[in-house]
Chain A
Amino acid sequence: MTGLMLFMRRIWPQLMTLAVIVGLISIMFPGFFQISIANGRLYGSPIDILNRGAPVALLAIGMTLVIATRGIDLSVGAVMAICGAVSAWGITEGYGLAATLAMALAAGLACGLWNGILVAVLGIQPIVATLILMVAGRGIAQLITEGAILTFNHEGLIFFGSGSLLTIPTPVIIGVVTGAIVTLIVRRSALGMLIEAIGINLRASTLAGVNTRVLLIAVYMTSGLCAALAGIIAAADIRGADANNAGLWLELDAILAVVIGGTSLLGGRFSLVASMIGALIIQAVNTGILLSGFPPEFNLIIKAVIILIILVLQSPTMRTVLVFFSREPAGASDKDKETVAP
């Protein structure tokens, strides 16, 4: 079987889910697929899903790697707030765009390094280790913004939130490019396999000579970097840094995206593309609920129900039922189970 076929097979459930949700929305809202170009930028609901989904998709990239090592990173929402605050502060202090972006990304890397050291060197459980920064991070962001919403009007920085390049919104480009780069690095080097090995069996990996400590720190730093990008986009989008609300609860959306993407929370085999599709599924649900005109107070409930349905459909029990009714030979369905962990 070729690599492409295996890849398609891996992301097939996520693609189907996305297609079904988009289909449902377009039934309820016939104008869904209308796309127009205005001021050199694409507009329309599908573009909106991509654009709004970009921050969570970025978080999901780092989160996938962390979860593949059998960890979790609860701090990404708070890291978004920190990095948004750093970029707003940098630009209002007049450091220039390049220096500001560098500082924001460095702040994300530093946050990842902190998490990585807690997990890999001190051996603290990831959920506890990253909880520290999840709580403290917003405090740090508030210190940077000095408790206020730090607004700015720098066109260069705003471009990262609402600008566009070749008619495509900048956040979409950042998300796709980051996803492509990380996927290439992880799959073209041996990183992917080593990360999976760590997630499946840390001790056996150490005994095989895998530098587990360094790899774990690198993975948390990647997550921090992705959160920094998402934080810059979020701040640029609203032209200000809101320490309290930037990225609020987005760590949960990112984790959910990874789960919908079929990467097991128990670590091991992962797919970055599937996680990013997972992020789009979540955003499609959000957008769809808004478009369909339900009273807004129903939104969270409807979202929860839809997510529940998706997860039930992807669960091993459901898979067994589906395999039972499918005509595929038993061997093929076995393989499915291995590559698409719940």
Chain B
Amino acid sequence: MPQSDNQPLLRARGLRKVFPGTIALDGVDFWLEAGEVHALLGENGAGKSTLIKCLTGAYRRDGGDILLNGDMIDPKGTIDAQAYGIGTVYQEVNLLPNLTVAENLCLGHQPTRFGMISTRAMNRRAREVLSQFGLDIDVARSLASYSVAVQQVIAIARAVTLSGKVLILDEPTASLDSHEVDLVFGVVRSLRERGLGIIFISHFLDQIFEITDRVTVLRNGRLVGTEATRDIDRVRLVNLMLGRELEQEVRSHGKTHAAAGEPRLTFTGFGRKGSIEPFDLSIRPGEVVGIAGLLGSGRTETAEVLFGVAAHDSGEARRGDGTALRLTSPREAIAAGFGFCPEDRKTDGVIADLTVRENIALALQARIGWMRRIPAREQRAMANDYIRKLDIRTPDAEKPVGLLSGGNQQKVMLARWLVTNPSFLILDEPTRGIDVGAHAEIIRLIEDLCAQGMSLLVISSELDELVAYSHRVIVVRDRHHVAELAGGDITTDNMVRAIAAPEREAIN
């Protein structure tokens, strides 16, 4: 373990970055030693990639200092950062697949001879570089002819030769199998021995514990903590990421137990290969079922399979009265009375250039068909009704929805589904990235809808939120539904344990 008696290799002090409507980084401190692998952890929107982009100059930071070996630096862009010695490798290999391995390694720095590129010298240099990484491959072949793992190592090799002090790996293992991960990790270890400082971003806890020396956890743009990996266990790590302290105040459930009676919907053996293993789920009128799990665990995949976004390839769905439901497309799901507010509002939710009114009317209009246009007066009445009911902050219903803040966009999404009067509403991270006030309103709305007899499936990484409104909570890990908690068992403690458990075991 490296010592910090002298200057750390790379240090960020009070880093701050503001986007319209959100503070992406709020005074984050971070330091990286030479010869360590440092994990950067956090859920979506925690600020990991913003931090990386500020360090590499891809974003202009709004405040704070960056020090390299104790000297203040101010990278203006990724190329500038490379010159300082900071290289980055992204999840998707950002090399040119149709060029040869050698060309990729030397691109922009090709050895020349009489002003022409010397292919022989280039290939020789590429072979030398790759041999340091334990790769003995034909560098004259195109990059695309090698596996993603090899491409990833080549990307690392390029980043290291160009920069050589700090290496940032942004989810380098996301699309690799375990054998390939070993190959990449071997390279990472040898670079650590050479004294590079490596920042490692991954959602896979196993990999964090396998390769990293220290972890830094971010949440909602703030630094939660930095600790030595060997001093931390899974439960504590999940707690840091999801924002719970271990001592758990048991919430008294203010919610009704009306959720007895016949199920409204029953899914049996529902699943889709490669996205979520078959699961059983039944949901009653007036019931809120929460889904807890880490990013990539299969929580969003569950929602998408239920709503027909990614059609299920096993299992069946039935109504309470036993009639079978066809759910292979969003249209069919909507016809069955489903609604779905997706996690990524920007790409999957709102139609940014359309007005608040049009966005609210869209799902209803799509359901009743293009021929019977909802009259303008009715659309306005509908929109104004929900602008008032949900307290959507907009000057009027004709404002393009893209100009509203995140919380108000989320409310517009909710309004879009509420006007269709669904019996089953799926909310994926309904409170992500929205301010505290709107947050509380959306939770109150969830409770109201449930009291009116709507069935809700709510996915959230805010565990205490799930505790507050769920009648049952399903825990998802590694694409499996691994545990179901009900009643008094719904505590953040129990959820964290189920999420973190390395072995697959039901905990109730």
Interface of A toward B, CB cutoff 8 Å:
188-191, 193-194, 196-197, 200-201, 203-211, 215, 268-269, 338
Contact = CB atoms under 8 A, between A and B. Distances in A.
B370 interface: yes
Interface in B305-335: 307, 309, 330-331, 334
Nearest to B332: A209
Interface string B325-358: 0000011001000001010000111111110001
Interface string B354-375: 1000100111011101111110
Given A191-B370, A194-B362, A204-B351, 18 more contacts: A189-B373, A193-B358, A194-B365, A196-B351, A200-B352, A201-B350, A201-B351, A204-B350, A207-B309, A208-B362, A208-B363, A208-B416, A209-B331, A209-B334, A209-B366, A209-B367, A338-B353, A338-B400
B330 A193 contact: no
Interface in B111-140: none
Nearest to B368: A190
Nearest to B374: A190
B352 A211 contact: no
Interface in B369-406: 369-374, 400
B474 to A, nearest CB: 22
B354 A194 contact: no
B459 to A, nearest CB: 15
A203 B347 contact: yes
Contacts of A203: 347-348
A206 B330 contact: yes
A205 B349 CA distance: 8
B349 A204 contact: yes
A210 B366 contact: yes
A207 to B, nearest CB: 5
Contacts of A196: 351, 353-354
B348 A204 contact: yes
Contacts of B354: 193, 196-197, 200
Contacts of B365: 190, 193-194
10 contacts: A189-B370, A190-B370, A190-B374, A196-B354, A197-B354, A205-B362, A205-B366, A207-B348, A209-B366, A268-B353
A197 B416 CA distance: 14
Interface residues of B, number: 30
Contacts of B362: 193-194, 197, 205, 208, 210
A201 B309 CA distance: 15
A194 B366 contact: yes
Contacts of B330: 206-209
A207 B342 contact: yes
Contacts of B351: 196-197, 200-201, 204-205, 208
A277 to B, nearest CB: 22
B371 A189 contact: yes
B340 to A, nearest CB: 6
A188 B373 CA distance: 7
Contacts of B334: 209
A338 B402 CA distance: 11
A211 B331 CA distance: 7
Instruction: Please provide the 5 A-B residue pairs with the shortest distance between their CB atoms, ordered closest to farther.
Output: A209-B366, A209-B334, A190-B373, A210-B366, A208-B363
Nearest to A193: B358
Interface in B20-66: none
Contacts of B416: 208
Nearest to B335: A209
Nearest to A188: B373
Contacts of A215: 370
Interface of B: 307, 309, 330-331, 334, 340, 342, 347-354, 358, 361-363, 365-367, 369-374, 400, 416
Given A189-B373, A208-B362, A210-B362, A201 B340 contact: no
A210 B364 CA distance: 10
A196 B347 CA distance: 15
Nearest to B376: A3
Given A196-B354, A207-B330, A201 B366 contact: no
Contacts of A209: 330-331, 334, 363, 366-367
Given A193-B358, A201-B347, A201-B351, A208 B309 contact: no
A215 B347 CA distance: 20
Contacts of A193: 354, 358, 361-362, 365
B292 to A, nearest CB: 23
Contacts of A200: 351-354
B366 A208 contact: yes
A50 to B, nearest CB: 31
Contacts of B367: 209
A259 B376 CA distance: 28
Contacts of B340: 207
Which of B363, B369, B370, B371 has most A Cβ within 10 Å? B370
B370 A194 contact: yes
Contacts of A197: 351, 354, 358, 362
A338 B400 CA distance: 8
A50 B365 CA distance: 37
Nearest to B358: A193
Nearest to A210: B366
Nearest to A211: B331
Nearest to B363: A208
A203 B307 CA distance: 14
A204 B346 CA distance: 9
A64 to B, nearest CB: 16
B347 A211 contact: no
A295 B354 CA distance: 48
A201 B352 contact: yes
Contacts of B374: 190
A194 B365 CA distance: 9
A188 B349 CA distance: 25
Contacts of B309: 207
A342 to B, nearest CB: 13
Nearest to A3: B376
Contacts of A204: 347-351
Nearest to A194: B370
Max chain B Cβ within 10 angstroms of own Cβ: one of A201, A203, A206, A268: A201
A191 to B, nearest CB: 5
Residue of B352, B353, B372, B400 with most chain A CB atoms under a 10 A cut-off = B353
A121 B462 CA distance: 39
B244 to A, nearest CB: 31
Contacts of A210: 362, 366
A183 to B, nearest CB: 14
Contacts of A188: 373
Contacts of B369: 190
Given A197-B351, A204-B347, A211 B366 contact: yes
Nearest to B349: A204
A206 B365 CA distance: 13
A149 B371 CA distance: 43
B96 to A, nearest CB: 21
Contacts of B371: 189-190
A338 B354 CA distance: 10
Nearest to B334: A209
A201 B402 CA distance: 12
Q: Among the interface residues B340, B347, B354, B371, which one has the most CB atoms of the partner chain A within 10 A?
A: B354
